[in-house]
Amino acid sequence: MFKPEEIVKVEIITLARFRDTLLTYLHEMGVAQLDEVPIEGIQRDTPNEFYRKATSYSITLSRLIDTVKHYLPPRKGGIKEFIFPEEKKKRKYKYRGIEELIKDVEKFLGEAEPKIREVESEVSRLNNEISALKDSLNALELLSSLNIEIENLRGRSFLSVEVGLVDREKVENLIKELEEIAEGRVFTLRKDLAAKSLLVVVSLRKDSGKVISLLAKYGFEKIEIPEGEGLPKDLIPKYIERIKGKEKELEDVKLKGREIAEKYYEDLVFYKELMDNEREKSNFLSYLVRTEMTFGLLAWVPKKDVEKVVEGVKRITNGIAYIEVREPSEEEIENVPVKLKNPEFISHFEMLTEMYGVPKYNEIDPTPILAFTYSFFFGFMLTDFVYGLLLGVISALLVKGHSKLKDGTWKFAKIMLWASAFTMVLGILFGSYCGNLLDMAGVKVPRLLDTMSEALTVLVMALAIGLGHLFTGYILGFIVNWKNGDKRAAILEQLPWVFIIIGITLFALSSKLGIPQIAFKAVFGVGLALFVVGEIVNNKGMAVLLTISDFFGFIGNWLSYARLMALALATSGIALVINIIANMVWGLKIGPIPLGILIGIVILIGGHIFSTAINALGAFVHALRLHYVEFFGTFYSGEGRKFEPFAAKREVSELEIES
């Protein structure tokens, strides 16, 4: 706690024939971060043909999965699925090397891919045919108004026939121009249909070029004449039957597709996951160095896992390996990847720390402090027992539902469990139960403080809390800089604010505790003097401007904690408005029916659920901002290098490695 996990540097050199199995072992363990071996002028490893095939097959499998998904029944969704997701079953695969894995994938694809492609091709063909038949049916419905045999609407060897739609207001001019350019050798038949006119144009084949150009000028929408003979109205039932036949054929093909999908879908996902992990491994090959017979790698490993890694390497290589384990040197400290280490009950708050950035290896991990202060700030801003209870119930359900997955939702829900507990406690202290709902119902609620009537007191509390929060940050910054040898920064950048905050605190308490003025003036003066000296040393010519800017920057950061009061007041205010609106309609009656009670209950339930959601969102964002901007700005850089293990991502597969 407060310090990251101890990390050591592990260097391994062994025979090239062990490369694939050794990488797979490290990948499955998922405890080592591979780094590029820092040696210039030596040959780097590259993916062989099997790794390249893994990348290609991963893409192929992904496309096949997308195809078969269309034939599977829709998955169950909704709130229940979100809260209680189904855990995926894992299948074991005996790993005998990438070459054998590729052979297994090729064998599977050789069986499954042709069947899937065949169904896909059939479905595509039938969809195209149905679409074409429907277009023909639409054309027949339009042409049926002409009462002309369909064969007469097709051209002849010396005659050109064009049938289509044109804007109704343009049709007169179009007919006139047609007669002019064809010199009277044209026949037109017109049928008005709402805003469009159906037009049949018959001309000599030699005039067809001029006719078609003119039709295009007027926006003529050509209708393709369907197959068949006879009147359009007589052909319509035949086309409807043909469409039904094709749709039945399509359903049969889709049913076959569903059988194939149910047979192969899980296998497709299984093999895709295997290929994805091989592809990821290939991305790290360039980190390795090699000779004709050997290869070397460099890894950062948590100290607690080193023994397990070394034992595995020796087992896989039959002891034919050079392994060096050592602590990072002073020069390497900046480059050491950081893995946060906290007790299980607060480890989920690491997610919030990592969102900002991890500490450097020689810095303090702020997660333990953030776990408490973030939850407290959240509770102070939401500050209602019922809201906290509602949030807690939802969070508890999510924690239970995602407990096996340990995913981001699970971590976030555990954070919200802490936040909801603080919200309920502070809700009791402030006597807030859906705002003043119990007070309006005539129940006397004990409370330490009323946010609405004692807003000034709440503001003073918020600023006092903020001052304490900033003080903690500056103390931590002083400790980190002093410990890391940067004593000047500790004395000139953190220590001045420590004295200034102590001086402000003594001044605030002087009247109650009888502290003499000279005491807080002296402490404040020392802090101010150190601050000015630090500004001069650090900023030289810009010292005057930056002294003023930095001092008022501190004041701004301090006053930013007033948002604790503002959001607490907003929560109470919104709840009060909801209660007043419900109270206004409560007595409404229509005859003997107490309609107002029903409406009031709906307003109370819906309104307070909305209030919980909107105010919880505000509390989440602003509590985070107070840490990221104000608190972390006092001591924390977040510029560390996050530990990113070389780890397999497995949801449906599990590897058994043959050494």
pTM: 0.85
- Tell me the pairing of strands 91-95 and 653-657: parallel
- What is the model's pLDDT at position 636? 94
- What is the model's pLDDT at position 582? 96
298 has pLDDT over 90:
yes
CB atoms within 10 A of CB 517: 10
Over the stretch 427-468, which tens digit does the pLDDT of each residue have? 999 999 999 999 999 999 999 999 999 999 999 999 999 999
Residue 60 CB burial class (10 angstroms; 0-12, 13-18, ≥19):
middle
- What is the model's pLDDT at position 519? 86
Phi, psi angle pair for 101, to nearest 5°: -60, -45
Which of the pair, 39 or 215, is modelled with greater confidence? 215
Quick one: average pLDDT of 28-37?
Answer: 95
Cα separation, 153 vs 156, in Å, equals 9
644 has pLDDT over 90:
yes
- What is the model's pLDDT at position 77? 67
Residue whose token pair is 């007043």: 580
Q: Which residues pair with 199 in a beta bridge?
A: 164, 190
Lowest mean pLDDT among 185-189, 437-441, 555-559, 586-590: 586-590
659 has pLDDT over 80:
no
- What is the model's pLDDT at position 510? 85
212 has pLDDT over 80:
yes
What single-letter amino acid sits at 135? D
Over the stretch 358-381, which tens digit does the pLDDT of each residue have? 999 999 999 999 999 999 999 999
Over the stretch 499-514, which tens digit does the pLDDT of each residue have? 999 999 999 988 787 7
The mean of the pLDDT values for the chain is 93
353 has pLDDT over 70:
yes
According to DSSP, residue 3 is labeled S
- What is the model's pLDDT at position 45? 85
- What is the model's pLDDT at position 32? 97
Over the stretch 486-496, which tens digit does the pLDDT of each residue have? 999 999 999 99
> SS in 3 state form for 553-589?
HHHHHHHHHHHHHHHHHHHHHHHHHHHHHHHHHHCCC
Quick one: average pLDDT of 81-91?
Answer: 86
Over the stretch 50-72, which tens digit does the pLDDT of each residue have? 999 999 999 999 999 999 999 99
- What is the model's pLDDT at position 463? 97
Query: Using an 8 Å Cβ cutoff, are 20 and 98 in contact?
Result: yes
Query: Using an 8 Å Cβ cutoff, are 524 and 503 in contact?
Result: yes
Q: Residue 34: in which H helix or E strand, if any?
A: strand 33-35
88 confidence band (pLDDT: 50, 70, 90): confident
- What is the model's pLDDT at position 78? 75
Closest CA to 59 of 278, 334, 361, 311: 278
Give the percent of the chain with pLDDT over 70: 100
Query: Using an 8 Å Cβ cutoff, are 634 and 474 in contact?
Result: yes
Residue ranges per structural domain of the chain: 7-98+259-338, 136-237, 347-634
CB atoms within 10 A of CB 148: 15
Check whether domain 136-237 has CATH 3.30.70.2750, yes or no: yes
Residue whose token pair is 């050591």: 8
46 confidence band (pLDDT: 50, 70, 90): confident
Q: Residue 656: in which H helix or E strand, if any?
A: strand 653-657
18 confidence band (pLDDT: 50, 70, 90): very high
DSSP output for 65-101: HHHHHTTSPPPP-HHHHHHSPPPPPPEEEEE--HHHH
Cα separation, 19 vs 98, in Å, equals 11
Residue whose token pair is 């202290």: 429
- What is the model's pLDDT at position 404? 86
Quick one: average pLDDT of 575-586?
Answer: 95
Quick one: average pLDDT of 90-119?
Answer: 95
Which of the pair, 266 or 590, is modelled with greater confidence? 266
